[in-house]
Amino acid sequence: MDIDQIKTFLAVAAHGSFLEAANRVHVTQSTVSARIQNLEQGLGARLFVRNRSGARLTSAGQRFLRHAKTLLLTVEQARHDVGLPSRFRASLTIGARIALWDDFLPRWAGRMRAAAPDISLNTEIGFEEDLMRRIIAGTMDLALMYSPQQGAGIQVEHLFDETLILVGDDPHQDAPDDGYIYVDWGPTFYAQHRKVYPDLERPAQTANIGWLGLQLILANGGTCFVPERVATSYLRGGCLHRVEGAPTLTLPAYVVYPSDRDSSELTTALATLRALVAEGAATG
């Protein structure tokens, strides 16, 4: 098994075609076939079923897919770390939900660069499932999220609580109304939301991230719940308003990292995060 086989496997899985995979990885179709055959022999399992419409994953191929993505990420990260310029002594990969990259984590990154200029930062956006998988696989050092999972070798640390407020284009509108957009902030938010609005039917629009909910109401009107710190600039600018009489909900934010890793760069990153949170708590 080598990295070219992994890349070829992922290309076939993504496009459902040996021919298209050949175009994507810039080799001949016969080379793609040979790589997949060698990979199957090495794994002792058939990964694809080929037919007139293309190629589809077998059950074994489906199980291998997640491992293949992790293997590719591991190799890419290894290449990045080994190839660091001499002015960097280490690198850190940090991922988070997009809302946490709004103001909070950029400020952390700035302070981190000032505190440890010899550490290279790789920053990413992701959802809980992918972030947790990366932490477990060792291809990510820190992940910030709202709905972490507990696991062996994983440390989950509460950082702060987001205050979610209902915002919209009209502060006096009844909410939730036909223009309400339900943002999926995870199971904790769902439980609180269900308690506050027990009889609410599925709204006409939903969004999987707060940024998308904001874009929809900015373009078309309506309301949605977003973190107060994210909404602040919109409220100050007057393009959105806090809906009067709407409840305030709470969403805990966590940082997740390997519990068995002891490194100075991880210690510095966590200390900088905690200091930023403490400063925010002190200033309100």
- Are 139 and 180 found together in one domain? no
Q: Do 202 and 247 sit in the same domain of this protein?
A: yes
202 and 153 in a common domain? no
Q: What is the pLDDT along the chain (284 residues), one digit of tens a residue?
A: 788 999 999 999 999 999 999 998 899 999 999 999 999 999 999 999 988 878 999 999 999 998 888 888 777 777 666 666 677 778 889 999 999 999 999 999 999 999 999 998 999 999 999 899 889 878 899 999 999 988 888 999 999 999 999 999 888 887 788 899 999 999 999 999 999 999 888 889 999 999 999 999 999 999 999 999 999 999 999 999 999 989 999 999 999 999 887 788 899 999 999 999 998 877 76
135 and 269 fall within a common domain: yes
Based on the fold, state whether residues 153 and 279 are members of the same structural domain: yes
* C-alpha distances in Å from residue 124, one per residue of 37, 101, 195, 229: 34, 9, 33, 20
Residue 224 and residue 98 share a domain: no
Same domain, 69 and 44: yes
Q: How many CB atoms lie within 10 A of CB 143?
A: 27
Distance CA 139, CA 81 (A): 11
- Among the listed residues 165, 131, 167, the one whose alpha carbon sits nearest the alpha carbon of residue 146: 131
CATH number of the domain residue 187 falls in: 3.40.190.10
Residue 69, domain extent: 3-80
Residue 192 phi/psi, 5-degree rounding, is -65, -45
Single-letter residue type at 227: P
